[in-house]
Amino acid sequence: MIKRRDFLGKAALGTVSLSALPTMAMKAESKKGAKKPVVISTWNHGVQANETAYPLLEKGGTALDAVEMGVRVVEADPKVMTVGLGGFPDREGKVTLDACIMDKHSNCGSVAFLQNIVHPISVARKVMEETPHIMLVGEGALQFAKSQGFKEENLLTPEAEKAYKKWLEESKYQPVINIENHDTISMLALDKNGDLAGSCTTSGAAWKMHGRVGDSPIIGAGLFLDNEVGGAAATGLGEAVIRTAGSAMVVELMRQGDSPYDACKKVTERIYQLYKRRDDLQYLQVGFIALSKTGEYAGYSLRKGFNYAFQEPGKNGLSDADFSMD
């Protein structure tokens, strides 16, 4: 395993201070066992998403239904300003949404740059189930959504509009780590049958360029799973996750024998090294969650502040992920 000193090297990290290496004890957050079902989701709002997903799994529902129904709760919550209704708009004041979903057969569906639809995750599922394609974007995705019975509505809440107007005063694009840009909800579930599914949905980076699409709707970047191995999902700076095929990489490391914890940590380290070479570390934050076929799970992020919600038989909660930099 790469030691923290090796990982960080002698890089000048500007104003960033360094924290202590995660201890072996902290690694115990990665849970082992054949317990099923299990659901994990990114960030605080993962708790409410899990509260909907887990009972479905307990009743014997599929991981696919659970990951769709779970994240829908967050999409519809106007208080969550990084997902669905109430999401921060782009720099033209438009709320544009990205989402994807993947099942045990490696079926997947995705929508990107979708406007005026509260539940992009359900449109993504329809793309998966009702079309020969995987990804629909923009106007085409909207047309398809309407053809499937989804209703258009204004997603820009007064609160998000107020924040946008404030941003317009300076119109400076400067992502604030863990606040503006990093609250996508990603969910991974293992059902009683032992099958996996995953979902990911977001309004993307606040004040992004009109038309910008992040990692969240891209299979292999924001989400990936292989039902023989496990699943992984990302949060954070989408460009960094796309550049490294982040979630696919986590799953491939798990295939080679890494635990979910080690796989998430190694990919985070790889992104760190890449951004160090690019001299572009200042605003970088990425985080991953991973869930193995055996129900072992973990989260890891580059910087402090990332957490994930988990639920398994007899246990649920919110776990602060280990990280490499303060």
Q: Rounded to whole angstroms, how far apart are CA atoms 195 and 189?
A: 8
Q: Does residue 210 contact residue 90 with C-beta atoms inside 8 Å?
A: yes
* Structure tokens, 92: 């033209």
Q: Which residues are part of the catalytic machinery?
A: 184
Site string for ligand SD4, 199-228 (x = CB under 6 A): ---x-xx--------xxx------------
Q: Does 301 bind ligand SD4 (CB under 6 A)?
A: no
Beta strands in 20-150 (DSSP E): 38-42, 97-102, 108-114, 135-137
Residue of 115, 184, 259, 301 that binds ligand SD4 (CB under 6 A): 184
Stretch that binds ligand SD4, among 12-20, 140-148, 197-205, 318-326 (CB under 6 A): 197-205
- φ and ψ at residue 169, rounded to 5 degrees: -55, -40
Q: Nearest distance from residue 16's CB to ligand SD4, in Å?
A: 19
Identify which of residues 37 and 238 has a Cβ nearer to ligand SD4 in the complex: 238
Stretch that binds ligand SD4, among 1-9, 141-149, 233-241, 257-265 (CB under 6 A): 233-241
Q: Residue 304 corresponds to which amino acid?
A: K
Identify which of residues 61 and 236 has a Cβ nearer to ligand SD4 in the complex: 236
Identify which of residues 50 and 181 has a Cβ nearer to ligand SD4 in the complex: 181
Footprint (CB under 6 A) of ligand SD4, residues 68-97: 82
Identify which of residues 47 and 56 has a Cβ nearer to ligand SD4 in the complex: 47
Q: Nearest distance from residue 112's CB to ligand SD4, in Å?
A: 10
| Bridge partners of residue 27, in order along the sequence | none
Stretch that binds ligand SD4, among 123-131, 230-238, 249-257, 260-268 (CB under 6 A): 230-238
* Structure tokens, 116: 């005026």
Q: Nearest distance from residue 205's CB to ligand SD4, in Å?
A: 5
Identify which of residues 50 and 62 has a Cβ nearer to ligand SD4 in the complex: 50
State the DSSP H helix or E strand holding residue 73, giving kind and residue range, or none if neither: helix 63-75
- DSSP state letters, 145-192: HHHTTPPP-----HHHHHHHHHHHHH------TTTTS---EEEEEE-T
Identify which of residues 214 and 230 has a Cβ nearer to ligand SD4 in the complex: 214
HSE (side-chain half, CA atoms, 13 Å) at 280: 10
Residue of 37, 238, 260, 299 that binds ligand SD4 (CB under 6 A): 238
Q: Rounded to whole angstroms, how far apart are CA atoms 290 and 299?
A: 6
Q: Which residues of 38-56 are buried (b: 16+ CB within 10 A; e: fewer)?
A: bbbbbbebbbbbbebbbeb
> Beta 196-202 vs 185-190: how paired, if at all?
antiparallel
Q: Nearest distance from residue 221's CB to ligand SD4, in Å?
A: 9
Residue of 41, 96, 115, 181 that binds ligand SD4 (CB under 6 A): 181
Q: Nearest distance from residue 165's CB to ligand SD4, in Å?
A: 21
Stretch that binds ligand SD4, among 30-38, 124-132, 177-185, 273-281 (CB under 6 A): 177-185
Q: Does residue 69 contact residue 75 with C-beta atoms inside 8 Å?
A: no
Size of the site for ligand SD4 (CB under 6 A): 15
Identify which of residues 86 and 204 has a Cβ nearer to ligand SD4 in the complex: 204
**Cα angle vertex 240, ends 235, 246, to 5°?**
65
**Contacting positions for ligand SD4 (CB under 6 A):** 82, 181-184, 202, 204-205, 214-216, 235-238
